[in-house]
Chain A
Amino acid sequence: MIEAVTRFDSFENANIHRGLYDLSSTATKRYEQIRTKVAHFLGTENSNTVAFTKGTTESINIVAQSYLSKKIMPGDNVITTIMEHHANFIPWQVLTQTHHAELRIVPIDPHGNLDMNKLRALIDSKTKLVAINHISNTLGTVNPIEDIIAMAHKKNIPVLIDAAQSISHCALSLDQMEYDFLAFSGHKMFAPFGVGILQVAEKHLGEVLPYNVGGGMIREVTNERTTFRDFPFNLEAGTANISGVIGLGAAIDYIGSLDKTDVSNHIRDLTDYCVATLNTVPEINVVGSPSGRSGIVSFTVTDIHPHDVASFLNQDQIAVRAGTHCTQPLLASLGLGATIRASFSIYNTRDDIDQLKASLIALIKFWS
């Protein structure tokens, strides 16, 4: 990925959809080839379902502002969950408040599983969208999105999936899952920061309208009016993050070279091993015990604040995130101020988790 970006920046750098010189036309061709590559990666042939964005946050905000804000009326509702990242929570909170609609928040059970009965009860004829993560970025809970999509679609309600945490190690297919909107970020799948994807099901393509107007996304501009290109080009105003997209393409090539089942099994094994290992230390409290958890384990250490834990782990070359993880409503519902989060990727091993445990035990002893 780094080589692909460096090569582009060093030798192939040119803007897209503009110049007729070789560098520009080559850059345009590669950019659009990567759009097709993303579509294939997501299990669809139609590259026009794929828009490049800055990341998951922008993708979700586009759905809120460019799609749902045109449809939602006072008295309608949007359903999300208590375990969402702020990026999949605040856009719906702001949208529903602006339109005098209702934000319905699905709770979790004591283990950290989504309360499916509550979700079923909350969906009604006024529901305009169900927005949910595939994997919780704080609990690691794997949500049953196929069931949720089926439940919502029975009532013709579209579903947005925040796949930021799952995109690098779970198979997703638009054909099989039939989600309506899919959002994810490049940096969660070994691509550069600042590039992401919004994928939209074909039936909604004409309903996602421009939100940011300017060059590159128009058909015709006169003094009186402007007509816009169709999705996804109607969203991509201005100069694109071309290097980022080049990197995303290389990252998808890399992920595509891996066996998805092996990757998924490896991440699950590390996650289970981490939970079992941390649970052997009485002072460590793993947050939640969902029936499906992948890639993420949050925990606290009795009497030691997560930030202090993270600082000491850092000295042992162990990088964890500590804090609220952009999930303040979730932590508030759990009565927690902050947690430490261990997250795993394909390059991690069980030895890493053994080192984590050893460092934590040393810290607990030091602190007492």
Chain B
Amino acid sequence: MTKEELEILYKSKIIPASKEPYHFEKHAQANTVIEAYNPICGDKYQLYLDMSEGVVQSAYFHGFGCAISKASTSILARKVEGKRLEEVVALGDTFIASLTGITPMDFDDECLKILNELKNFDGRVDCIKSSWEAITHHLKEEQWK
């Protein structure tokens, strides 16, 4: 990625999403709290989900992280609301697999498409997927209970 491409990407997509993230606040009354943590860079978010009857009724998040991880988690929060637990897991699995570059993902969602394109940004894939991995892992464990 050239510097010009990087600047366009940040200016048009990442900075706006990270400066005005969706549902970026602590949500103490949530019945499911998931921690997304990247020990290498120190990024740490709490994901607050309100789940009832197997559906994510609301998703909030709060914490410390880079612009990419914040934008990614913001998109995640918006995408999972209203989805059933198994739909969130399927979305998470597909999205994470797509970041390897091996398994293509057919996105009809513009935000996910942008996130997926960021996989070509060397060294930052962990920033994109940390929250996605955390929520998918946690909800899979919920499914197995």
Partners in one complex: yes
Q: Give the B-binding residues of A (Cβ under 8 A).
A: 304-308, 311-312, 314-316, 322-324, 328, 331, 337-338, 366-367
Contact between A322 and B41, CB atoms less than 8 A apart: yes
Contact between B68 and A312, CB atoms less than 8 A apart: no
Q: Once the chains are docked, how many angstroms separate the CA of A366 from the CA of B44?
A: 25
B28 at the interface (CB under 8 A from A): no
Given A307-B66, A307-B124, A337-B64, does the pair A331, B6 have CB atoms closer than 8 Å? no
Report B62-83 CB contacts with A as 1/0, cut-off 8 Å: 0011111100000000000000
Contact between A306 and B6, CB atoms less than 8 A apart: no
Closest chain A residue to B127, Cβ basis:
A307
For residue A240, give the distance in angstroms from its CB to the closest CB of chain B: 30
Residues of A within 8 A of B121 (CB): 311
Closest chain A residue to B124, Cβ basis:
A311
Q: List 11 A-B contacts (CB under 8 A).
A: A307-B69, A307-B127, A314-B123, A315-B6, A316-B3, A323-B40, A323-B41, A328-B42, A337-B43, A338-B41, A366-B11
Report B46-74 CB contacts with A as 1/0, cut-off 8 Å: 00000000000000000011111100000
Contact between B41 and A307, CB atoms less than 8 A apart: yes
- Give 9 closest A-B pairs by Cβ, nearest first: A305-B66, A307-B66, A315-B3, A323-B41, A338-B42, A337-B64, A324-B42, A337-B42, A308-B67
Identify which of A305, A328, A337 gathers the most chain B CB atoms within 10 Å of its CB: A305
Q: Once the chains are docked, how many angstroms separate the CA of A324 from the CA of B39?
A: 8
B15 at the interface (CB under 8 A from A): yes
Q: Once the chains are docked, how many angstroms separate the CA of A304 from the CA of B10?
A: 12
Contact between A311 and B123, CB atoms less than 8 A apart: yes
Closest chain B residue to A309, Cβ basis:
B66
For residue B118, give the distance in angstroms from its CB to the closest CB of chain A: 11
Contact between B40 and A337, CB atoms less than 8 A apart: no
Contact between B39 and A328, CB atoms less than 8 A apart: yes
List 19 additional contacts besides A316-B3, A324-B42; criterion CB under 8 Å: A305-B65, A305-B66, A306-B66, A307-B41, A307-B68, A307-B69, A307-B127, A308-B66, A308-B67, A308-B68, A311-B121, A311-B123, A311-B124, A323-B40, A331-B42, A337-B64, A337-B65, A338-B41, A367-B15
Residues of B within 8 A of A315 (CB): 2-3, 6
Q: Once the chains are docked, how many angstroms separate the CA of A349 from the CA of B67?
A: 31
Residues of B within 8 A of A314 (CB): 123
Residues of B within 8 A of A331 (CB): 42
Contact between B41 and A324, CB atoms less than 8 A apart: yes
Contact between B67 and A305, CB atoms less than 8 A apart: yes
Residues of A within 8 A of B66 (CB): 305-308
Q: Once the chains are docked, how many angstroms separate the CA of A130 from the CA of B106?
A: 57
For residue A85, give the distance in angstroms from its CB to the closest CB of chain B: 14
For residue B45, give the distance in angstroms from its CB to the closest CB of chain A: 11
Q: Once the chains are docked, how many angstroms separate the CA of A219 from the CA of B127?
A: 51
Residues of A within 8 A of B117 (CB): none
For residue A368, give the distance in angstroms from its CB to the closest CB of chain B: 10
Residues of B within 8 A of A366 (CB): 7, 10-11
For residue B77, give the distance in angstroms from its CB to the closest CB of chain A: 18
Q: Which of B1-38 contact A (CB under 8 A)?
A: 2-3, 6-7, 10-11, 15
Residues of B within 8 A of A308 (CB): 10, 66-68
Q: Once the chains are docked, how many angstroms separate the CA of A166 from the CA of B107?
A: 51
Given A305-B66, A311-B124, does the pair A324, B40 have CB atoms closer than 8 Å? yes
Q: Once the chains are docked, how many angstroms separate the CA of A323 from the CA of B67?
A: 14
Q: Once the chains are docked, how many angstroms separate the CA of A306 from the CA of B64?
A: 11
Contact between B42 and A323, CB atoms less than 8 A apart: yes
Residues of A within 8 A of B123 (CB): 311, 314
Identify which of B2, B42, B65 gathers the most chain A CB atoms within 10 Å of its CB: B42
Q: Once the chains are docked, how many angstroms separate the CA of A315 from the CA of B68?
A: 16
Q: Once the chains are docked, how many angstroms separate the CA of A358 from the CA of B59?
A: 40
Q: Once the chains are docked, how many angstroms separate the CA of A4 from the CA of B16?
A: 52
Q: Once the chains are docked, how many angstroms separate the CA of A328 from the CA of B41?
A: 10
For residue B5, give the distance in angstroms from its CB to the closest CB of chain A: 9
For residue B49, give the distance in angstroms from its CB to the closest CB of chain A: 23
Residues of B within 8 A of A307 (CB): 41, 43, 66, 68-69, 124, 127
Q: Once the chains are docked, how many angstroms separate the CA of A366 from the CA of B64?
A: 21
Residues of A within 8 A of B64 (CB): 337-338
Q: Once the chains are docked, how many angstroms separate the CA of A322 from the CA of B68?
A: 14
Closest chain A residue to B3, Cβ basis:
A315
Report B105-131 CB contacts with A as 1/0, cut-off 8 Å: 000000000000000010110010000
Closest chain B residue to A304, Cβ basis:
B67
Residues of B within 8 A of A305 (CB): 65-67
